[in-house]
Amino acid sequence: MGSAMATRLVQAGHEVMVYNRTAAKLAPLVALGAQPAQSITAVAQHGAVVLSMLADDAALAAVACQPDGLLASLPRGGIHVAMGTHGVAAVEALEQAHRAAGQELVCAPVLGRPEAVTAGRLGVLAAGEATAVARVRPLLESLGRRVFDLGAEPRAAAATKLANNILLACAIEAMGEAFSLVQKCGATPAAFYDVLTDGLFASPAYTIYARIITDQSWDKAGFTVALALKDVELALAAGGRAAVPLPSTDVCRQRLLGAIAHGDIRKDWAAMALEQARACGLA
């Protein structure tokens, strides 16, 4: 994902310095004109804006807090744009640390996969101190189709990304329940697919996942059960922190855990519907 994003920034004419723990991964970007860095410090000291795209909160904390990390090396007034999907607690802690160091954190998770970046269809959810967001907005606009302004609190962008993901989790759970109900009442999945994708729900969330459920094609994972569980748990943790009970999100977590208990951890998370099928004796 980071690679697709850096490619797009270079192609848009931005001067880009890139860093990856595995230096070899940088070769294609360097071929396009990006400047390779040997360390996080090198990146931080090169420009006033650093974008991170990291897999989880632990990686984000490491990149920010390790001795040669962003907190130590980004100049005062520098901006860290965290673009991964992160937890609210991690973003709050990081925001405070950057502020204490005279830096700014902009939280800017994205909606879309690498293909969406390449196709210029990425959505970017940006939140942070207004001047900082304004400064990085041109960069974010280069990255995708639309930049959403989520306000002055970085955590609001993190929460919005997580909320979007639980909407999808709940939609898949609901499809699993609906498919199993109609099947046990004599309808075929294919017939139900036609009904549900025809009107009220004619959007990618439903057409894509209803297709996978109908075809039982969860072995080809676009987004695994394991990754889905991570995001759902981040959403629940955000709810815990903000005192927001999220009962149908809890159902999604239960479903994902059940899927894992039955060996589906590497399947596409549409396998939530397989787990529901098991729960009612259909699979």
Catalytic residue list: 161
C-alpha span between 183 and 30 (Å, rounded): 53
CB of 154 to a copy of itself, least distance (A): 9
Q: By C-beta, is 73 or 165 nearer to a copy of itself?
A: 165
CB of 7 to a copy of itself, least distance (A): 22
C-alpha span between 120 and 7 (Å, rounded): 11
Spatial CA neighbour of 270 closest among 195, 217, 226, 231: 217
CB of 47 to a copy of itself, least distance (A): 28
Q: By C-beta, is 18 or 234 nearer to a copy of itself?
A: 234
Q: By C-beta, is 23 or 167 nearer to a copy of itself?
A: 167
| H/E run at residue 84 | none
CB of 262 to a copy of itself, least distance (A): 6
No. of helices (H) and no. of strands (E), the chain:
14, 8
Q: By C-beta, is 23 or 130 nearer to a copy of itself?
A: 130
Give the Cα-Cα-Cα angle 130, 244, 209 (nearest 5 degrees): 85
Q: By C-beta, is 17 or 178 nearer to a copy of itself?
A: 178
CB of 126 to a copy of itself, least distance (A): 10
Main-chain phi, psi angles of 268, to 5 degrees: -65, 145
Q: Is the CA virtual torsion 214, 216, 217, 221 positive or negative?
A: positive
C-alpha span between 14 and 186 (Å, rounded): 58
C-alpha span between 198 and 160 (Å, rounded): 28
Contact 231, 165 (CB under 8 A): yes
Contact 249, 236 (CB under 8 A): yes
